[in-house]
Every structure is written in structure tokens, then in C-alpha cells.
Structure 1
Amino acid sequence: MAKAHFHKHQRVFVRPVGTWALIEQVKPHWVKGMDEPVRISYDCGLGRDFTTDELSEEERDEQDTGRWRLMRAKNKWQSPDECAHHPFPGTFPIIVTDEQDWGGWRVPGAEYDRDPQLIEFQARIITAAPTLMKLAEKLAEQAEKPDELPDDLREIVEVARTTLKRIKSRPSESAPSGARAA
């Protein structure tokens, strides 16, 4: 009997097509008189159903802080002609920090219109943040043996340690005395 290996809304790699897709529907195939389905196929919205062996799931790191990704949303308030000076006319960036394509970071349209190049740059930085944090953690590990490090690398390690400390502390802990925590 067949068991479902994937679930609805799961992101999978579709090997025959060579692309990532979300499973829209899990389709069990039943035979009369059987307690369980004989096979299961998956509708990924690509024109046909796929079997389990044609799909593969994302490999996840144990300490994965999330696969943050840059997506584009349609600009509801301006046509592509009205915002032709934008890097991607008719759209604006959103950062998705959740597997289900919700949660994350968005920018108001007026702010994006004021400086689209800056917002696009910020979106790329935010998307890279989990990778940069892992890099900083690896650098900070080098601080355990500071005598073995050259002076210039020691400075970089110290910047990584203080940055990680600022990221991992609560806002009230990292605010300088006299400054108000936001």
C-alpha cells in the first residue's frame, strides 16, 4: 500500500520539469475493497500529476535559520508605465521568511517609489542575512584561540562577536545607558 511522502503546500523539486513547485493537491488512488490507497500522485500545478519518485524535498540544515527568499509582488497602485524608472516596473520586492510564503518584510509603496534602488539593495541584504549570520558565527568561533590569529583577522573576529552579541541580545540589553529601547 502507498503512503504519502509529501503534503499539500510543501515545496518540492520536480525532476522531470527541472523546477521547484508547491504541491497543490495530494491525490490518493483507491481500489475498491482496500483499506489504503494503492498509489499516490501529486498535483504541482504543472499540467500533470507526478509520482513520489519524480519529486524530492528540500534538504534542510539542522540549524537552518530559514531559507529567506526575495519574491516580487504586483504593484496595485501604479501601472508599469507610471513606474518605468523602477528596476522592475510594476512590481516591488518582498522578503519571505516562512516556508509557506508568508511572514517577512515588506516596504510601503511610497517608500519604494522614493528610492527603489536602495530598497532593492536592502531586500538583497535581508535575504542574505541568515547566510551572513552563519559566516559571523564561524568567525566568532575563531576567537577561542585568539593568540593564533593575525592582528587583522583578530579585528574581524571581534567585529563578528560583537555583531552576534547585538543580534542575539534583547533590545533592552543592547541599548546604551541613557538611550531608550525601541
Structure 2
Amino acid sequence: MAKAQFHKNQRVYVRPVGTWATIERIVPQWVKDMDEPLRIHYDVGLGRDFAAKELETEEVATLSHLDPEMEEWHVVRVANKWRGADECANHPIPGTHPVVVTGSHEGGGWRVPGVEYDLTPDRVELQAKVIAASPKFLVLLRRLADYARHNPENLPDDVMAIANDADAIVTSIMGPAT
């Protein structure tokens, strides 16, 4: 069942169009004999209804200086092709393994070989969560480094050392700041 993620008159960024708009109305898709709508779309006055994953709030937009598609990295569960749930009862979620989706299509992303997952399922589960969260980590590191660069007098020495480490990590990934 779907729940509304945005509300009427809320300002949102519409990714497919690349512009800001205001939600004019919420459009639920109902199914007979169901208490809640199956899907919810949003009319923002741009000629068609948009799904929640195509919209972004102002708070999220201010957090990200990265490619908006990177912000949608998430972990999905995929059925094991090599073992059934009864054969891997010791796995965190028997019968499945994590896949990190790093693009707008469910097919792209990070996967782990079945043998490696069988050896250390808890380790692979943690890796999947860390990889999925890494764009947000990168944004936080960049914000910390930028704040320290512009306000060095306001930070204690140990926090400046952490900010310098953050800056080094961001530089090693993204290259020098321009």
C-alpha cells in the first residue's frame, strides 16, 4: 500500500524536467476492495503526473551537490539463484541476497558473487548498506571540509584534523576543489 510522501502546495524539484514546481494535487490510484491506494502520483502542473521517486524536497536538494541519480542508491533484496531459503537458514534474510541499485533502473548496480555471500553474509550485508549510503557520506564529508575551510577559527584543533581528513578523502575521490 502507498502512503503520500509529499503534500499539497509543497515545493518540489521535478527531476525528469529539471525544474522546481508546487504540488497541485495528490492523485491516488485505488484498487477495488483495498483500504489504501495502490500508488500515489503527484500533479505539479507540468502536463503529467509524477511518481514520488521523480520528486525531491528542498531539504534533500540542499544536502546534495552530487548527481541526483546517485541520491537514489538503495539496497534491494533478490532471490538466491544458487540456494533456497531452507539451505541458507543462517543468512540474515534466508533465500535472498542484497543488490545495491546505483542508477534509475533496477538493473544497474553492485552485486556480490553467491559464493562470497555464502562465506560471510553479515559482512556482505554491511557492505551493501555502506555502499548505498556512500553518496550521502560524501556530501557530509564535503560539507564538513567546506565549513572548516571557511571557518577555521571557529573549530577546535581536533575537529579541524577531522575536517582535514574529510577534505583529503573528498579530494581523493572527486579531485581538488575548484
Task: Find the counterpart in structure 1 of residue 161 from structure 2.
Answer: 155
Q: Does 1:84 align with 2:89?
A: yes
Question: 5 Å matches for 1:1-182?
Answer: 17-18=2-3, 56-58=51-53, 59-60=55-56, 61=61, 63=65, 64=68, 65-144=70-149, 145-169=151-175
TM-score normalized by structure 2? 0.64
Residue 144 of structure 2 contacts residue 166 of structure 2 at CA under 8 Å; is this kept in 1? yes
CA offset at residue 57 of structure 1? 3.1
Aligned residues: 134
What are the superposed Cα offsets for residues 43-99 of structure 1, whole Å, 9 maximum, x if unpaired? x89677977658653323373333100001100111111111100100000000111
Task: Find the counterpart in structure 2 of residue 7 from structure 1.
Answer: none
Decide whether aligned partners of structure 1 residues 138 and 56 sit closer, same or farther in structure 2, where only a CA change above 3 A counts.
same
Structure with the larger helix share: 2
SS in 1 for 2:160: helix
SS in 1 for 2:86: coil
Decide whether aligned partners of structure 1 residues 73 and 163 sit closer, same or farther in structure 2, where only a CA change above 3 A counts.
same
SS in 1 for 2:145: helix
CA distance in 1, matches of 2:74, 2:105: 12
CA distance in 1, matches of 2:30, 2:111: 27
5+ residue gaps, structure 1, are: 1-13, 21-41, 170-182
Write the letter of the residue equivalent to 2:112. V
Residue 100 of structure 2 contacts residue 110 of structure 2 at CA under 8 Å; is this kept in 1? yes
Decide whether aligned partners of structure 1 residues 167 and 46 sit closer, same or farther in structure 2, where only a CA change above 3 A counts.
farther
SS in 1 for 2:71: coil
What are the superposed Cα offsets for residues 114-133 of structure 1, whole Å, 9 maximum, x if unpaired? 00000001111011101111
Write the letter of the residue equivalent to 2:94. P
CA distance in 2, matches of 1:80, 1:66: 31
CA distance in 2, matches of 1:70, 1:76: 18
SS in 2 for 1:81: helix
Q: Percent identity?
A: 36
